[in-house]
Amino acid sequence: MVRRTLPSDQLQVMGEAPQGVGEAGGGLPGLSSFAHFERDPPPRPRELWSVYRQSGCLVRLLWAMISTNKSIDLGGTARSPQDVTALYELGLQFAEIPIVDASKLSNDLHTYQELKDRLGIYYLCHGPREGDPNDTEALEKDYLFKLKQIFPLMQRLGMSLLTIHLWLDSRFVRKKTIQYKINLLKRIVTIAAESQITVCLENLSEAPDDMEAAFREIPLLKMTLDFGHAQLLTEVNRSHDFLGRFPGKVKHIHMHDNRGGESHLDDIHLPPPEGIIDFKSIFMRLRQIHYSGTMTLELKPDEIRKCLPYVRRLIGG
């Protein structure tokens, strides 16, 4: 049976992955209109040779040919400008940049802009962790403040999608706090829409019922479906349930593997298929709903290189 309580120390850090993983913005929470396809459609076959000549990368050419008939753009987490270059060299289309401290990213802003222009890669954003999931005062004063600082940087880097953590699991978050978070999400989505930024709420340990009210009350709110988080604090991976319940809400995906578990320490971000997640059945479901969004491999570049052939086979069906 799934435990219904957690020690207070875990409750405050649930979602903060082990050292070296949480930096990707992918850990379970601080226990911390997407227009790309309209703006940048996949290259047509007659354009592919010019892509190859400009990049000099055969792998990139071959993947572009494969991607011509696919609707999923594949990217990875970039914790530094060096990671952006590494992801590009792997043939990935975008980098998801975790912005924990807006002032720190500002120091590298010019470098990120230069890489974007030179490589033709695009960026998505992962916001900061929320901290204590039941501390509404900190959410109002600190978390919202950090998000407001991020939006101008996103505009400068051409980022159109923001993934955020706001834990709504009714097993661990107070009912009154959940309603506060839904109201907070309304404000965040409104502010983001002024900059043409789509906000995606990431699942942490929630069931679909936990997120239903937020999606119902906030039409512009979308979802980042995290396959790894859907395997934790549950007996069965919840990805199928989310895809069945909210097929029109899922606009972004985080992909990594784990071995299940009932703690934030089990959010270990393994390269697929080193864990227990049944990715084949999940990707079959993605094809059934005609998913046409983005997918971030929440791993380090070397780990992405290791699992990339497997992931591309899954995407190819």
CATH number at 276 reads 3.20.20.150
Residue 204's nearest CA partner among 228, 179, 184, 182 is 228
In this prediction, residue 224 carries a pLDDT of: 98
Amino acid at 83: D
- pLDDT single digits (tens) 44-91: 444 444 444 455 455 555 554 444 445 899 999 999 999 999 999 999
Please tell me the distance from the alpha carbon of residue 314 to that of residue 4, in angstroms, as a whole number.
34
Question: 271 Cβ partners below 8 Å, 6+ apart?
Answer: 256, 257, 299, 303, 304, 306, 307
- Using only the alpha carbons of the chain, give its radius of gyration: 19
Question: 202 Cβ partners below 8 Å, 6+ apart?
Answer: 163, 164, 165, 223, 224, 225, 226, 229, 254
pLDDT higher than 90, residue 35 = no
DSSP the chain: ---S---HHHHHHTT-PSTTTGGGT-SSP------HHHHSPPPPHHHHHHHHHHH--HHHHHHHHHHTT---EEEEE-SSHHHHHHHHHTT-SEEEEE-S-HHHHHHTHHHHHHHHHHH--EEEEE----SSTT-HHHIIIIIHHHHHHHHHHHHHTT--EEEE-----TTTS-HHHHHHHHHHHHHHHHHHHHTT-EEEEEPSS--HHHHHHHHHH-TT-EEEEETTGGGSSSSS-THHHHHHH-TTTEEEEEE-B----SSGGG---BPTTSSS--HHHHHHHHHHTT--SEEEE-S-HHHHHHHHHHHHHHHH-
Mean pLDDT, the chain, as a whole number?
85
103 pLDDT tier (thresholds 50, 70, 90): very high
Please give the average per-residue pLDDT across 260-278, as a whole number: 96
In this prediction, residue 31 carries a pLDDT of: 42
Q: Lowest-pLDDT range, 21-35, 69-83, 100-114, 120-134?
A: 21-35
pLDDT higher than 70, residue 94 = yes
Any domain includes 86: no
Any domain includes 195: yes
Any domain includes 64: no
Any domain includes 23: no
In this prediction, residue 7 carries a pLDDT of: 44
pLDDT higher than 70, residue 160 = yes
Residue 198's nearest CA partner among 294, 88, 87 is 294
19 pLDDT tier (thresholds 50, 70, 90): very low
Please tell me the total number of residues recorded for the chain in this structure. 317
The answer to whether residues 196 and 161 touch, using CB atoms and an 8 Å cutoff, is no
Any domain includes 304: yes
Tally of structural domains, the chain:
1
Any domain includes 30: no
Decide which of 62 and 92 is more confident.
Answer: 92
Domain range for 184? 99-112+124-316
